[in-house]
């Protein structure tokens, strides 16, 4: 039976590849909706970009919703320096045929979950957690219907990528992250610790480009743009392909390994706001609230991605 999922994202080239991977796998993943949030670029662009990705994947009937245009408390920080002005630099921008639904993303999440069976729907956030946190706050009863949350965010062994001590999604909305990590549900965390092990190399991007369909060509072109910033920053060939790790885990958990940990979010200190404090060795004795993914078979990850991209025409 296919996994019912809601993807909450801030496209972003890596979010876009996560969407392509999910859209390529209808037998395993039933996408109930794509909700969008301000993050890499402002909301008006992230929602448009999600719809452009649906058009390119010829999935124009996919339900796309716009959510929160700013974090719960702190000011919005965006990442045009990484993703370009459009958020998905590397491909041409066009007016998408995929429609934007009228309902607010938070209301879509609440309405979908409140009528759903117990433990029946997986949430897949790949951006700041504002929409997810506000849905939980608006109607805590939805927690009963959420099977698990598979999210991209955080860092422990890796340094921060927005501040010295915080990963982008956690830093942009640390208060939302706190709500989510305290909600009591199973959380699978794809942090920088693992996403920095799935690097887009010239060879891997070349293999994607050689597939030759519209989705693989868009993917290759976006990754060429996306890789330039991190390649320079980290001095490596390629960039960590963050967000698709969430979908890849849903498609093949055996590619990944991790450890149950207690994870807490810093929401007070201006210096370390958004830091994920991971008690990896259980020294503080708090109950584990997350599975902290540490390792990945990166060749297996790219084999999966490339094989799924081949499915498009």
**97 vs 125: CA distance, rounded Å:** 24
Residue from 6, 12, 87, 249 touching ligand RIB (CB under 6 A): that is: 12
**b (16+ CB within 10 A) / e for 85-97:** ebbbbbbeeeebe
Look at the block and give the residue holding tokens 């504002």.
130
**At closest approach, how far in Å is the CB of 230 from ligand RIB?**
10
**At closest approach, how far in Å is the CB of 105 from ligand RIB?**
16
CA proximity to 63, closest of 8, 115, 133, 116: 8
Q: Does residue 266 belong to the site contacting ligand RIB (CB under 6 A)?
A: no
Question: Site mask, ligand RIB, residues 135-164, x = CB under 6 A?
Answer: -----------------x--------x---
Residue whose CB is less far from ligand RIB, 28 or 158: 158
- Kindly list the residues in this chain that would bind Ca ion in the complex (CB under 5 A): 10, 12, 15, 126-127, 243
**At closest approach, how far in Å is the CB of 153 from Ca ion?**
9
Question: Site mask, ligand RIB, residues 15-34, x = CB under 6 A?
Answer: x-------------------
Phi, psi of 51, deg, nearest 5: -75, -35
Residue whose CB is less far from ligand RIB, 151 or 304: 151
Is 266 within 8 Å of 164 (Cβ atoms)?
no
**207 vs 297: CA distance, rounded Å:** 18
Active site residues: 242
**Torsion 71-77-81-85 (CA) sign:** positive
**At closest approach, how far in Å is the CB of 59 from ligand RIB?**
20
Is 175 within 8 Å of 225 (Cβ atoms)?
no
Running DSSP on this structure, what letter comes out for residue 99? P
HEC assignment per residue over 217-261: HHHHHHHHHHHHHHHHHHCCCCCECCCHHHHHHHHCHHHEEEEEE
Binding footprint of ligand RIB, residue count (CB under 6 A): 15
Q: Which does 197 bind (CB under 5 to 8 A by kind): ligand RIB, Ca ion, none?
A: none
Q: Does residue 246 belong to the site contacting ligand RIB (CB under 6 A)?
A: no
**At closest approach, how far in Å is the CB of 199 from ligand RIB?**
14
Residue whose CB is less far from Ca ion, 79 or 262: 79
Enumerate binding residues for ligand RIB (CB under 6 A).
Answer: 10, 12, 14-15, 39-40, 126-127, 152, 161, 167-169, 242-243
């Amino acid at each position: 039976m296919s996994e019912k999922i809601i993807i909450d994202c801030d496209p972003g080239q890596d979010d876009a590849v996560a969407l392509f991977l999910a859209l390529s796998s209808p037998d395993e993943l039933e996408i109930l909706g794509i909700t969008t949030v301000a993050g890499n670029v402002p909301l008006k662009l992230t929602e448009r970009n999600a719809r452009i990705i649906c058009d390119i994947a010829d999935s124009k009937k996919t339900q796309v919703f716009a959510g929160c245009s700013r974090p719960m408390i702190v000011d919005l920080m965006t990442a045009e320096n990484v993703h370009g002005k459009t958020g998905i630099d590397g491909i041409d921008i066009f007016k998408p045929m995929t429609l934007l639904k009228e309902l607010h993303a938070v209301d879509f999440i609440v309405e979908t979950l409140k009528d759903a069976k117990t433990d029946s729907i997986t949430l897949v956030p790949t951006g700041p957690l504002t929409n997810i946190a506000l849905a939980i706050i608006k109607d805590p009863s939805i927690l009963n219907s959420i099977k698990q949350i598979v999210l991209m965010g955080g860092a422990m062994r890796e340094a921060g990528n927005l501040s010295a001590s915080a990963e982008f999604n956690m830093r942009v909305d640390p208060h939302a992250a706190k709500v989510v990590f305290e909600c009591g549900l199973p959380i699978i965390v794809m942090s920088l610790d693992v996403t920095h092990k799935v690097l887009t190399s010239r060879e891997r991007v070349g293999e994607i480009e050689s597939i030759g369909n519209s989705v693989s060509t868009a993917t290759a072109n976006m990754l060429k743009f996306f890789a330039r910033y991190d390649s320079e920053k980290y001095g490596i060939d390629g960039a960590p392909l963050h967000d698709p790790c969430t979908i890849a885990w849903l498609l093949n958990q055996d590619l990944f390994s991790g450890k149950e940990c207690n994870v807490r979010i810093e929401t007070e200190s201006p210096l370390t706001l958004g830091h994920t404090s991971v008690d990896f060795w259980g020294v503080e004795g708090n109950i584990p609230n997350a599975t902290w993914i540490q390792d990945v078979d990166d060749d297996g990850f790219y084999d999966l991605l490339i094989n799924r991209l081949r499915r498009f025409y």
